[in-house]
Amino acid sequence: MEVVIDRSETLAALAADAIEALVTRRSDAVLGLATGSTPSSVYDELVRRHAEEGLSFAGVRGFLLDEYVGLPEGHPEAYRTVIERELVSRLDLPTESVLGPDGRAEDLAAACTGYEQAIADAGGIDLQILGIGTDGHVAFNEPGSSLASRTRIKTLTEQTRRDNARFFDDEVDAVPQHVLTQGLGTIMAARHLVLLAMGRSKAEAVHQLVEGPISAMWPATILQMHPHVTVLVDDGAASRLQLAAYYRETWQSKPDWQPL
Ligand code: GLP
């Protein structure tokens, strides 16, 4: 696990660098796309590189991490709508090349199985962008999630619904209680995980993720078992890391020939 502590603009550029290197190497790369407020700066940077430097996503495919259950099609906070608005519509990435779990399906369990199959049919995810919840969830794998789980239905915790109420006019009751989410096992199958976290509210979750014991109580801790994880955090999110000085030193002395 590589931990980079830096300013948020630098972190966004680093994540964009990793994506750029991938899609330049493989024009049909498969990206795992996260929603939430944290990845927005990465998406803005990709849009800038597309507009100003001609970075193309025409052959790329994308898979969302998760989706609310029951929001009507086109709801502004449905993750499929969010990613379309924030990223897909601003790139040359065809809308149909990006899939998400179908939170409006009549048979939700079948939609989850079908989603796993679609990821497998695409050859798996090359690079997965991740955020982290204040309770240590990744995607919507809440505390108590099986560390080997696959895409399935989950119930959100009260804390996550409160955290996400800001997207629903601060009404906790408007935040759906159920979601479909890639499982931790699904996420662990991606070839490179790039997790971003900003601000002090994420400090405990980041400490547990990097330095805590692996436990379903902090679902992100399973990432310690992945061979290629990049954790990009600002000073606030890094404020509880015990080995922060070591991570800073490691990053500063990193040779140019060793990419993220
Ligand atoms: C949501 C999403 C996660 C995201 C997390 C943090 O619940 N399902 O994928 O990482 O919350 O969101 P934010 O980046 O807005 O803090």
- For the chain, the average pLDDT equals 97
- Say if residue 255's pLDDT is above 90: no
Rounded alpha-carbon distances, angstroms, from residue 217 to 97, 134, 208, 213, 224: 34, 12, 10, 10, 14
For residues 16 and 174, give the distance between their C-alpha atoms in angstroms, rounded to a whole number.
33
Tell whether the model's pLDDT for residue 1 goes beyond 90. Answer: yes
pLDDT at 239: 98
**Cβ pair 140, 156 in contact under 8 A:** yes
From 255, 252, 183, 250, select the one nearest 1 (Cα to Cα): 250
Give the H/E segment covering residue 41. Answer: helix 40-53
Ligand 1, atom 10, residue with closest C-alpha: 131
Q: How far is it, in rounded angstroms, from Cα 233 to Cα 202?
A: 9
Half-sphere exposure of 137 (CA within 13 A, CB side): 27
**Is position 126 annotated as part of the catalytic site?**
no
Q: Give the number of the atom of ligand 1 that is nearest the alpha carbon of residue 156.
A: 7
Q: How far is the CA of 204 from the centre of ligand 1 (A)?
A: 15
Residues with CB under 6 A from ligand 1: 34-38, 65-66, 131-133, 139-140, 160, 164
Catalytic residue among 135, 163, 192, 207: 135
Residue 257 confidence (pLDDT) above 90: no
Query: Which percentage of the chain shows pLDDT scores above 70?
Result: 100
Q: Say whether pLDDT at 258 is over 90.
A: no
CA 136 to mean position of chain CA atoms:
13
Kindly name the residue from 50, 137, 192, 207 that is annotated as catalytic. Answer: 137
The pTM assigned to this predicted structure is 0.97
Ligand 1 closest atom vs CA 36? 15
The whole-angstrom separation of Cα 48 and Cα 219 is: 33
Cα(87) to centroid of ligand 1, in Å? 16
Across the range 175-185, mean pLDDT stands at 98
Pairing of strands 127-130, 178-181: unpaired
